[in-house]
Structure 1
Amino acid sequence: MLDRVRPGRPGREITSADDLAAWLAERPADERDEPFTFVIDTGGALRLAPRRSEHVACAAGGPVLSAGEIEFARDGGRWSVCEVGNQSTGYCPDVTSWPAVAAALDRAGLEHPGGFTRPIVFRRCPRCGQHNIVKDDHFACAACAAALPAAWNLGPTG
């Protein structure tokens, strides 16, 4: 996947509500109603790309503070965040990455729900190395059934 990333072509940086409105206006109408790919780069900037984009492409191949999917709704003429989650199987960000997301949204002046609305728990299996999504607090590897650690263990995000 990294081979397909074009350096210098990250997702669109959003620094204000006006930036978001302009970027959304450029999107096809049917695309505005679905979630978008987002990353928070190491500088704390919110970057957006169409949903079917890879997070690593949105981050131009670099490390991130958080990544996932984000959805916006129009509220009184302004866009705000209505849904946001850390679903990124490329970066597997921990749910504790929320403060980086909140800080970027706050800097851009975008109202948000105050936490991930769709949090996902990721763990790497210590036995086979498989990345797992933990569902229903079942901390067992889907590939080899080994116990998964309680603490996030995927290393630095990115």
Structure 2
Amino acid sequence: MDLNAYTYVGPEEIRRSSASQPAGTPIASKEDAEAWLQAHPDARTEGATYVVDLQGRLRLAPRRSEHVACAGGGEVLAAGEIRFQGTGTRLTVAEVSNQSTGYCPDTSCRDAVVLALRASGMTPPSRFTPEIVFRRCARCSEVNLVKEGWFVCVFCDADLPAEWNVASRRTLHLTESA
């Protein structure tokens, strides 16, 4: 499967301040996710920050962590927030989003999330909740969150493009067993 790799587009001061933080914990199984949740009990109610790294692995960090720290400063295949419910063998993914203003991933990054969750033995939700649409304004260069299908820049009122354009991205090929 061809997936897009996203570079960090957030503030440079956040990247610098996040450089000393540990990268997110790789999750290869439900047991890994359960162990991580036991070590971070607040995540059961708050959810967690996640990225899918370039190897297709889900990585988790506490909810208030920056995505760039969770990614160890590198590119990602997906980034957002995730919430689990249940415990042990009944652990499920209740919600997952692409809500990351540091990477501003396209909604198509859901494919990477699906692969990563399946590889770790978990079933992904049927869609992002919420699904965030990011666009960069061609006139003023500001990044916008498109709401209710309104493709107009909130900063300068210019029309926003229909296609994702926040930054350059490259395509990687991963298989289901990634």
Question: Could you say which TM-score interval applies, normalised by the shorter chain?
Answer: over 0.9
Alignment partner, residue 122 of structure 1: 134
Measured after TM superposition, the shift of residue 111 of structure 1 is 1.8
Alignment partner, residue 26 of structure 2: 13
Match of 2:35 among 22, 25, 29: 22
Alignment partner, residue 10 of structure 2: none
Structure number with greater CO (CA < 8 Å, separation at least 6) is 2
Residues 92-130 of structure 1 deviation map (CA, whole Å, 9 limit, x = unaligned): 000011110000000000122132121010000001100
Listed as ranges, the gaps of 5+ residues in structure 2 are 1-13, 171-178
Q: Which amino acid is 2:71 matched to?
A: A
Q: TM-score, normalised by structure 2?
A: 0.83
Residue 156 of structure 2 aligns to a residue in which SS?
Answer: coil
Alignment partner, residue 105 of structure 2: 93
Matched, 1:52 2:64: yes
Matched, 1:113 2:125: yes
Separation (CA, whole Å) in 2 of partners of 1:117 and 1:86: 8
The answer to whether the 8 Å contact 2:34/2:87 transfers is no
Match of 1:136 among 148, 154, 176: 148
Separation (CA, whole Å) in 1 of partners of 2:137 and 2:154: 9
Match of 2:85 among 51, 73, 89: 73
Q: Which amino acid is 2:32 matched to?
A: D
Matched, 1:35 2:23: no
Listed as ranges, the gaps of 5+ residues in structure 1 are none
Residues 26-54 of structure 1 deviation map (CA, whole Å, 9 limit, x = unaligned): 113x4321121000011111000011000
Indicate the larger mover: 112-121 or 93-102.
112-121
Structure 1 residues 82 and 5: alpha-carbon distance in aligned structure 2, compared to 1, 3 A threshold: same
Matched, 1:4 2:25: no
The answer to whether the 8 Å contact 2:84/2:93 transfers is yes
